[in-house]
Amino acid sequence: MNEITVDPRPLAATRSFDTIPFAVLVDEAWRSTRAWARAILLPAAVLLAPAALVVQVLVGMWNMSLVGMDAARFDFTRFCGTMAIGLGALLLVGVYFMVVYGCIMVSAFRALDHGQPSLREALRFYVRPRVWVTDILLARVLIGLGYCACILPGLFLSAAWSLRLPIMLREDRFGWDALTRSWQLLTHNPSRQLLRHPLLKVLLLFVLGAVLGYAVSMVVQMPALVANQVMMMRAMTRGEALDPQALVRATLWLSIPAGVLAALAQLAVQLYVDFATAHLYLDQVRRKEGRDLGEALDELLGAGGSVPAPFPPPGPG
């Protein structure tokens, strides 16, 4: 019987092991967003709307206090106390935003992996101590410190740890283990081409999400901005003295709802980016596990590269 031999040389990266192209990634993310938008976005909008309203009210009050400040009667202690209260409230609302956005990511991944997204189940998963400690207290705090250090370190950490939630959900890894696993997956680049590197795809997703988010916010808030400018121009043409506080107060009825709608519109952009991230994670896991399996088989066969012949069938009796 002829002996089967295996070439011991490592296989070069082929298209079957190469990562998903960026164009295919964003196209699949768009398809997934259209398919699951109603099931995910409507419950998320209900959760986010109260917090978005609180943020807009706080911002409106802050703007009124700034434009109405009298330098002659300025009280520095009162100003610092008001700022501390406002920043504390914004911090609490910001944490709430993080939880809602994290639930959207979990729902998007479950839609691809299980086909049954549920924001209630996603919230139940996210409020587990190991999950929110990893995502908020560990990853986001370090990323925030990185952004404080000239932005670039924070951007790098955001990209390197962008797969942490799918890893916690599917692989049951938490803490530093989840962050390390995300880095390992995103540095798996079989093609050795810079333009096909997974980290570059994540950075491009950040840019795409930022551009789309800015465009959506501008479109939604444009009526409030136009009304503000029209009122200011009318006052100038009549020769009246501009009262900034009265101008801000007069446009609050329009700027606050516009801000809330812009925050809700951002959910759609975030869902799109989350679906792209989930697709990237599933693709990276398949590619890396397939390559690891091939390398393990090569190591198992050894440098001799021979597969033992099968046993002959047993004879009669």
Token pair for 283: 């693709």
Report whether pLDDT(238) > 80.
no
Is 174 part of any domain? no
Question: Are 139 and 161 in contact, with CB atoms under 8 Å apart?
Answer: yes
Give pLDDT tens digits for 58-110. 888 877 777 666 666 767 787 787 788 888 888 999 999 999 999 999 999 99
In 161-243, where does DSSP find H-type helix? 164-171, 176-186, 198-237
Token pair for 285: 């896991």
> Residue 307, SS3?
strand
**Mean pLDDT, residues 287-291:** 74
Q: Which are the contacts of 45, defined by CB distance < 8 A and separation ≥ 6?
A: 264, 267
Per-residue pLDDT, 173: 95
Report whether pLDDT(315) > 70.
no
Compute the distance between CA of residue 33 and CA of residue 276 in angstroms, rounded to an integer.
9
Report whether pLDDT(312) > 60.
no
Count of domains forming the chain:
1
Question: Are 253 and 224 in contact, with CB atoms under 8 Å apart?
Answer: no
Question: Are 279 and 25 in contact, with CB atoms under 8 Å apart?
Answer: yes
Is 64 part of any domain? yes
Length of the chain, in residues: 317
Is 39 part of any domain? yes
Per-residue pLDDT, 301: 64
Residue-wise over 110-137: b if at least 16 C-beta within 10 A, else e? bbbeeeebbbeebbebbeeeebbebbee
Token pair for 212: 């789309």
Per-residue pLDDT, 291: 57
Report whether pLDDT(299) > 90.
no
Is 227 part of any domain? yes
Q: What is the extent of the structural domain holding 291? A: 14-121+195-295
Is 18 part of any domain? yes
Residue 175, number of CB atoms within 10 A of its CB: 14
Is 184 part of any domain? no
The residues with which 306 forms a beta bridge, in sequence order, are 5
Per-residue pLDDT, 66: 72
Per-residue pLDDT, 70: 64
Q: What is the DSSP letter of 283?
A: H
Is 231 part of any domain? yes
> Residue 13, SS3?
coil
- Which of 157, 44, 174, 57 is CA-nearest to residue 96? 44
Mean pLDDT of the chain: 83
pTM listed for this prediction: 0.82
Compute the distance between CA of residue 314 and CA of residue 114 in angstroms, rounded to an integer.
46
Is 282 part of any domain? yes
Give pLDDT tens digits for 183-237. 999 999 888 888 889 999 999 999 999 999 999 999 988 888 888 788 778 777 7
Give pLDDT tens digits for 244-274. 777 777 778 888 898 999 999 999 999 999 9
Three-point CA angle 298, 300, 301, nearest 5°:
65
How far are the Cα atoms of 69, 150, 225, 247, 280 from residue 252, in angstroms, in the given order? 18, 35, 11, 9, 42
Phi and psi based region of residue 74 (left: phi greater than 0; alpha: psi -120 to 50; beta: remaining):
beta
Compute the distance between CA of residue 108 and CA of residue 276 in angstroms, rounded to an integer.
9
Report whether pLDDT(297) > 70.
no
Per-residue pLDDT, 288: 82
